[in-house]
Chains A and B, each alone.
Chain A
Amino acid sequence: MNWLYDFSYLTGGIHNSLSEHFEPSTVTLIEMILAGVAFMILFAILGLVLVYAERKVSAFFQQRLGPMRVGKWGTAQTLADVIKLLMKEPLMNKNADSFLFNLAPYIIMIAAFMAMAALPFAKGLHALDFDIGILYVSAVSSLGVIGILLAGWSSDNKYSLIGAMRSGAQIISYELSVGLSLLTIVVLTGSLQFSTIIESQANGWWIFKGHISAVIAFIIFLIASTAETNRGPFDLAEAESELTAGFHTEYSGLKFAFFFLAEFANMFIVSAIGATVFLGGWMPFHIGGWVGFNNIMDYIPPIFWFFGKVSFIIFLMMWFRWTFPRLRIDQLLTLEWKYLLPVNLMNILIMAFLALMGWHF
């Protein structure tokens, strides 16, 4: 069971056994393919689980049961939906730009895939560990907006175009807040590498160690990342009651499913970043000095800690979505540029001061 606590046993074992039989370059190639397949499987499972979770969470918020008929407690409902979506006819407007129209869902999916590759899932379970990890993830995840813009632009529908333009303004603005709130913690860790950030939280998570500044940064991160993933109350790009479905009005079948999946994947990615940077990633919950308590916490494998924290943040995001009304576009931009951004900048200054004086724990 050692591998459950440290995946480097598992990954190292695979690497060693491959090295015995193949050239080093072939080993790298095989490992890349293995990692790719693993991510695809993870992506599919995430889609299934999160869609089911969203339906159940929304149902419980709305005093109903949600899917109950397909499988036990409706667990196979998402699978049934996937089959339905696969069998749907892909439709396209006559005057739509077919190349861009077909390209857009893939761009969104690829952006989500690339961002996911750099996430640390557990000890030793980390496909790419750059020294600029955070920078890479925020750069790659913002590529998705190109897909949204293309989808709105190419589908020959004014509603889609309005949705895409809204989304462009929204995501580009909120990208700043996400980046700056992450930088607040980077000031403390002195590193952009995910593994270093996690190691630095071995004796306490940054949200507890970083005074009030870290809490403010976490709240700003939550708001901004909800906006960045286009989820309610910031789902202006979709805005069902205003723009019918915004940028993906004209998509059907599998291409619609791609947009749908990418939304959930993005939600997972931002939650994973939040969990890693603020809540210690796969680090167990430790209280300084309480050896017995800390040992019990260590019994829970890191991968459960990681997914537990991620699910907590995902639940928060679902909570927002099912209780808040939607903002208007000008209010959305006012919130970012007049409130979140100045607060964020001040917060970084305070945090830098704290780090400089060594006043954090």
Chain B
Amino acid sequence: MEEVTQELESKEYFINMGPQHPSTHGVLRLVLSLDGEIIKKVEPHLGYIHRSIEKMCEHDSYQQIVHLTDRMDYLSCHINNEAVCLAVEQALQLEVPDRVKVIRTIIDELTRLSSHQLWWGVMGMDLGAITTFLYGFRDREIITDIFEETCGARLTMNYNIPGGLFFDIHPNFQKRTKDFITYFRKKLPEYDTLLTNNVIFMQRMKGIGKLSKEDAISYGVTGPTGRASGFSCDVRKQHPYMAYDKVNFKEVLGTEGDCLARYKCRIAEMWESMSIIEQLIDNIPEGPVKVPTKAVIKLPKGEWYQKVETARGEFGVYIISEGQRSPYRLKFRSPGFSNLSALDHMARGCKIADLVAIMSTLDLVIPDIDR
């Protein structure tokens, strides 16, 4: 008799979410401990897309390292490129021309916009509203077209080089960017009508996956995910680089720290990005677009750290140089890795459907986590 009751007791069971799963957005493997539909534990397993980029950097020249960073967070590749360039420029004590600063900032913000558009589309798809995906892509396409015209690539741009830019912007760049901003100012409210104000969406988002400010700081969560919890961590504000000290923009801060706050934080960031671009697009100073550097860049002996704000959070590059053409050691601090570490804390006690919602508000890019 006792045996029967023991068999009927509900037991925890494991489920492998990934490495092939539509909503892990890549080859992330989550081992879930479940009790029915309720999540007891989430254990991320990495290594499925490890390419040892940091080790490769120890054998590459500094110009080549820039290209490798594209392959990490491919949605904010321009900003990643910039981090390496800024670190090298800092080491060489190069002052880039004002024109470079402004162009870099504009393209940074365009990259952020396109990344957030993609995030919005994919987030809707994770929640079952497949239509949002196509709407997000419709608008993102315009930005990638602008990139294609300016630097020849749509996704992995490689527009930055240590000392400036590969070449000058295309003559159409300013006009097309302005056209896009006017267009997108009209289209962004459409995102709200389609998804944000939906009752089902609100129910799925509100109060799910809460992350307090203290936890956000202790897990090192940055970017819109951290700011939604009230953690002021915008590198553009705290340690301005390029032209960010010349523009007026608000650091979007949330208080709730739940999925809805993260969602709203990103939508508000899109508005801020548009206003930054508008402030700069008409005021691109004339001048050269690069400072000539030697063909083989050798950094002096020493250590440098440069951080930038990507679409996902704080991205850092730490270079240790022994005076050679390649760094002695190079370390990337990727925002996705720290953000993912908070997933277990946020998802405990939620349902499987909530885990999907939390993951998409974290906006994970797996190659960024698993370098």
Contact = CB atoms under 8 A, between A and B. Distances in A.
Interface of A: 58, 61-64, 158-159, 162, 166, 232-233, 235-236, 239-244, 322-331
Contacts of B129: 323-326
Contacts of A61: 131
A162 B355 CA distance: 15
Contacts, number: 80
Contacts of B131: 58, 61-62, 322-323
B153 interface: no
Nearest to B13: A158
Interface in B9-34: 13, 15, 21-23
Interface of B: 13, 15, 21-23, 37, 124-131, 133-135, 138, 194-195, 198, 200-201, 203-204, 351-354, 356
Contacts of B13: 158
Contact of A232 (B22, B128, B133, B354): B128
Most chain B CB within 10 A, of A61, A63, A325, A329, is at: A325
B20 to A, nearest CB: 9
Contacts of A62: 130-131, 133-135
Contacts of A329: 37, 351, 353
Contact of A325 (B135, B201, B351): B201
Nearest to A334: B203
Contacts of A326: 127-129, 200, 204, 353
B352 A162 contact: yes
A325 B15 contact: no
Given A325-B128, A325-B204, A331-B203, A244 B21 contact: yes
B128 A233 contact: yes
Contact of A242 (B124, B134, B135, B356): B356
A242 B204 CA distance: 14
B15 A239 contact: no
B23 A328 contact: no
B22 A244 contact: yes
Most chain A CB within 10 A, of B124, B134, B194, is at: B134
7 contacts: A61-B131, A236-B353, A242-B23, A324-B129, A325-B128, A326-B128, A330-B351
Contacts of B353: 236, 239, 242, 326, 328-329
Given A322-B130, A327-B200, A330-B351, A241 B125 contact: yes
